[in-house]
Amino acid sequence: MANINEQGNGDRNNGMDHAWPGHVDYRLGFGSEQVSDVMWRCRVLRAGKLYSTSLFATKDEADEFAKRLGESEPDKMFNVEAIKAASVWN
């Protein structure tokens, strides 16, 4: 007879709830290997007004984005800055 614990799920989970965030393996895709408290924001300005904002995991990614977009759209200004990830994600 199986041993039923308080959650009623028997021995198969060894009394642990595997749905808690501490047990979840998040696979976030590109850039997720570089987990940091800092993110990089690239603001694109056109005629002094905010045109768009993009977020990046590394400064190199943000700089490369600004460089490539600047080559194709020379009328825009770019501002790359470090921000705290907590200001983006809660």
**Residue 5 located in a structural domain:** no
Residue 42 domain boundaries: 10-87
Q: How far is CA 84 from CA 4, 25, 35, 59, 71, in A?
A: 45, 23, 12, 13, 28
**Residue 77 located in a structural domain:** yes
**Residue 15 located in a structural domain:** yes
What does the pLDDT look like over 31-69, one tens digit per residue? 555 567 889 999 999 998 999 999 998 999 999 999 999
pTM of the model: 0.57
Q: Per-residue pLDDT for 89 more than 60?
A: yes
Tally of domains within the chain: 1
**Residue 29 located in a structural domain:** yes
